[in-house]
């Protein structure tokens, strides 16, 4: 997306998000329509993707707001414009932008897994463990764990994150911070999974970003989106089989079928795959929230 001519100072561009400094206390985070897979950004944007990520994060943050603080100030363009001069000069930012307080980010990916899938499944097949912790024998792909598991990983500025056990996680953030993060994430996962179950969706796993504000642990960045979670239709799950999903796993599966070696440059993504992927993101938002994306900012 094009930069807007404002006093904003560009801090960072990630695979999906662009981060700008507003002042000493506030940041502007803009979710683009870029799609990444296996840490490589595709050349073709996915329409509406950034709006879905932002709208879903706003939805969950407000769902939890009564007792779980966050770094979010507002996603409302009118509110953002009071802090960001000429915000409206870049129309594409409306609905994709979050005005947030600057937090001290916890250097962990706080992952909660309710079902066996992804890297956890690969480790389980090889070793019978998940993030170094032994779990029940005889599980198949998509099977639930006895209870949701808090399974952190490292944060890597370059390359892949690394799955770690709780002992190593405590050595990185301290035992007190780890215990607080674990309790918070397990509680949020349980609450979100129950809400989604009522909508016919299974939340298989998700990744939380946490930070510290005035010594308090708060939610940051995206919260329970198709980019940070596995979401499956409850009526289509069969033990041992890959289920259809509302996240970007089907797109990864399409990439794998192309024989791509997961290194740049990525293959060209055909228009029909772009359209199906975009529809999947929109469907995820509307099913989870019971709202229409056309009612969100930037429609």
pLDDT tens for residues 248-282? Answer: 888 988 999 999 999 999 999 999 999 999 999 99
141 within 8 A of 130, measured Cβ to Cβ: no
d(CA 210, CA 238): 33
* 14 and 94 housed in the same domain: yes
* 70 and 176 housed in the same domain: no
* 3 and 109 housed in the same domain: no
* 132 and 183 housed in the same domain: yes
Q: Which of 102, 117, 146 is the endpoint of a domain? A: 102
d(CA 102, CA 265): 34
Question: How many CB atoms neighbour CB 127 within 10 A?
Answer: 10
Say which CATH number the domain at 92 has.
Answer: 3.30.200.20
Domain that holds residue 201: 105-246
Q: Which of 68, 102, 136 is the endpoint of a domain? A: 102
Is the model's pLDDT at 156 over the cut of 90? no
* 129 and 161 housed in the same domain: yes
> Is 232 within a domain?
yes
> Is 253 within a domain?
no
> Is 200 within a domain?
yes
Is the model's pLDDT at 160 over the cut of 90? no
Q: The pTM is what?
A: 0.93
* 46 and 114 housed in the same domain: no
> Is 285 within a domain?
no
Strands across the sheet containing 17-21: 9-13, 17-21, 26-31, 97-101, 72-74
* 4 and 69 housed in the same domain: yes
pLDDT tens for residues 13-51? Answer: 999 999 999 998 999 999 999 999 988 999 999 999 999
* 127 and 236 housed in the same domain: yes
d(CA 131, CA 165): 5
* 240 and 131 housed in the same domain: yes
CA-based torsion, 131, 136, 137, 139: positive or negative: negative
* 142 and 226 housed in the same domain: yes
> Is 153 within a domain?
yes
* 139 and 80 housed in the same domain: no
Enumerate the H helices of the chain as residue ranges: 49-64, 77-83, 118-127, 166-173, 175-197, 249-257, 271-289
Q: Which residues contact 43 (CB under 8 A, 6 or more apart)?
A: 265, 266, 268, 269
Q: Which of 87, 102, 117 is the endpoint of a domain? A: 102
Closest CA to 208 of 156, 153, 165, 163: 153
Give CA torsion, residues 191, 62, 4, 102, to 10 deg: -80
pLDDT at position 212, please? 96
d(CA 150, CA 156): 19
> Is 182 within a domain?
yes
Q: How many domains does the chain have?
A: 2
């Amino acid at each position: 997306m094009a930069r807007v001519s404002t006093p904003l100072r560009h801090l960072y561009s990630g695979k999906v998000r662009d981060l700008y400094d507003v002042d000493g206390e506030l940041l502007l985070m803009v979710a683009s329509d870029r799609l990444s897979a296996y840490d490589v950004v595709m050349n073709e944007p996915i329409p509406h993707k950034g709006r879905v990520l932002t709208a879903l994060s706003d939805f969950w943050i407000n769902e939890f707001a009564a007792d779980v603080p966050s770094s979010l100030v507002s996603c409302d363009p009118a509110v953002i414009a009071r802090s960001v001069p000429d915000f409206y000069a870049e129309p594409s930012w409306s609905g994709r932008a979050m005005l947030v307080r600057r937090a001290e980010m916890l250097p962990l990916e706080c992952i909660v897994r309710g079902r066996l899938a992804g890297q956890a499944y690969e480790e389980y097949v090889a070793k019978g463990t998940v993030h170094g912790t032994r779990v029940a024998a005889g599980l198949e792909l998509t099977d639930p764990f006895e209870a949701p598991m808090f399974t952190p990983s490292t944060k890597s500025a370059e390359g892949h994150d690394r799955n770690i056990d709780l002992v190593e996680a405590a050595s990185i953030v301290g035992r007190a911070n780890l215990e607080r993060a674990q309790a918070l994430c397990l509680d949020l996962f349980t609450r979100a999974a129950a809400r989604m179950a009522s909508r016919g969706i299974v939340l298989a796993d998700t990744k939380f970003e946490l930070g510290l504000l005035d010594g308090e642990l708060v939610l940051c960045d995206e919260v329970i989106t198709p980019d940070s979670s596995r979401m499956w239709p409850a009526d289509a799950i069969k033990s041992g089989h890959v289920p259809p999903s509302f996240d970007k796993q089907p797109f990864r599966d399409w990439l794998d079928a192309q024989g791509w070696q997961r290194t740049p440059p990525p293959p060209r993504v055909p228009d029909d795959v772009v359209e199906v992927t975009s529809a999947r993101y929109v469907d995820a938002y509307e099913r989870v929230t019971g709202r229409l994306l056309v009612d969100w900012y930037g429609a």
